[in-house]
């Protein structure tokens, strides 16, 4: 069984119920989410041996996060718990026009200290060298800060020398960066060591002011990415290998409820497919099926039985 490790942050999520309690107070549902965590859930469901790499606290909510991972068959052996700390938190607010707003409390989250300790980083690098693939995102890069990114850039080439593939989704969130220039440099640095790049053209537009396929190819022409996968929402997915483009149609989806996590879920389907021996085209088709299942339901992580029924139907 192929083995993947995803690096990032999992947070406590509070989302509103449609009705208040008897005293008019908001009623919130508690769950756990994060971009690479969401991907890890679906990769595990699709049969990959999946580890999650993060730092948590020793509080009750960190314990519940670990329990949630174990329930999803996500291994927790790469996770370090820091005494006296607790994970980040975000609240979802439904706006009158049906959209959703996100409010974060994450500045003190222990995940931000990933790769900040040389001894811990050496230990983690040794563990990561034994997996088939390491997956991370632009959010991972943002939260670990400049020093963490410098350490990570020393780790990735060591892993590739051991035959570990690196998969990366830019997942650009402007509020997490000092400015666009800082984010641009960090993304270009990481893509130098990336085998599979899973990019969304909406993010490319936010980051570079250009959402064209040609512009994306030009930007990364000097970066030795083996597979450049361009996600374009309802439009064809484009896979670029050795300068050749392949378009994979995205079937229309009816009854869309919530597009949160669609990209994360596509990534899970694609990476699970590739690591389990599917061609890039068939892996993209699997990623599209997974994303289509998720957007027909509310939340980034949907019920396991519902997910399997949807992708098999």
What is the distance, to the nearest Å, from the Cα of residue 174 to the centroid of all Cα atoms in its chain?
16
| Beta bridge pairs of residue 166 | 134
Q: How many CA atoms lie within 13 A of 295 on its CB side?
A: 20
Residues 6+ apart with CB under 8 A from 158: 125, 129
Can 264 be counted among the known catalytic residues? yes
| Beta bridge pairs of residue 134 | 5, 166
Out of 21, 97, 264, 282, the active site residue is 264
Other beta carbons within 10 Å of 12:
23
Sign for the pseudo-dihedral over CA of 8, 13, 261, 170: negative
What is the DSSP pairing of strand 100-105 with strand 89-94? Answer: antiparallel
Residues 6+ apart with CB under 8 A from 242: none
- Specify whether the CB–CB gap between 190 and 141 falls below 8 A: yes
For 10, the token pair is 């999992």
The CA-atom distances, in angstroms, between 120 and each of 55, 57, 80, 103, 140 are 11, 16, 9, 31, 17
For 15, the token pair is 């989302």
How far is it, in rounded angstroms, from Cα 176 to Cα 59?
25
List active site positions. 264
């Amino acid at each position: 069984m192929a083995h993947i490790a995803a690096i990032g942050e999992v947070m406590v999520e509070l989302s509103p119920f449609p009705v208040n309690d008897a005293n008019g107070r908001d009623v919130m549902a508690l769950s756990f989410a994060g971009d690479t965590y969401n991907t890890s859930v679906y990769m595990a469901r699709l049969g990959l041996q999946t580890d999650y790499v993060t730092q948590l606290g020793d509080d009750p909510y960190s314990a519940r996060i670990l329990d949630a991972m174990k329930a999803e068959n996500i291994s927790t052996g790469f996770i370090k718990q820091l005494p006296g700390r607790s994970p980040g938190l975000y609240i979802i607010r439904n706006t009158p026009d049906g959209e959703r707003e996100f409010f974060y409390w994450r500045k003190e989250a222990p995940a931000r200290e990933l790769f900040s300790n040389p001894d811990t980083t050496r230990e983690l690098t040794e563990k990561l060298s034994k997996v088939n693939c390491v997956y991370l995102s632009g959010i991972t890069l943002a939260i670990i800060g400049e020093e963490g990114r410098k350490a990570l850039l020393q780790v990735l080439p060591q892993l590739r020398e051991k035959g570990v593939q690196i998969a990366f989704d830019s997942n650009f969130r402007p509020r997490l960066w000092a400015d666009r220039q800082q984010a641009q440099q960090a993304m270009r640095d990481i893509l130098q060591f990336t085998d599979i790049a899973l990019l969304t053209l909406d993010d490319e537009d936010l980051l570079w002011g250009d959402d064209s396929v040609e512009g994306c190819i030009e930007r990364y022409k000097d970066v030795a990415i083996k597979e450049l996968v361009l996600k374009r929402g309802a439009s064809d997915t484009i896979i670029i290998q050795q300068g050749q483009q392949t378009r994979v149609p995205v079937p229309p989806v009816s009854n869309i409820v919530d597009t949160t996590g669609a990209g994360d879920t596509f990534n899970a389907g694609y990476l699970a497919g590739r690591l389990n021996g599917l061609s890039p085209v068939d892996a993209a088709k699997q990623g599209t099926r997974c994303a289509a299942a998720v957007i027909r339901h509310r939340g980034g992580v949907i019920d396991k039985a519902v997910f399997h029924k949807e992708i098999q139907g």
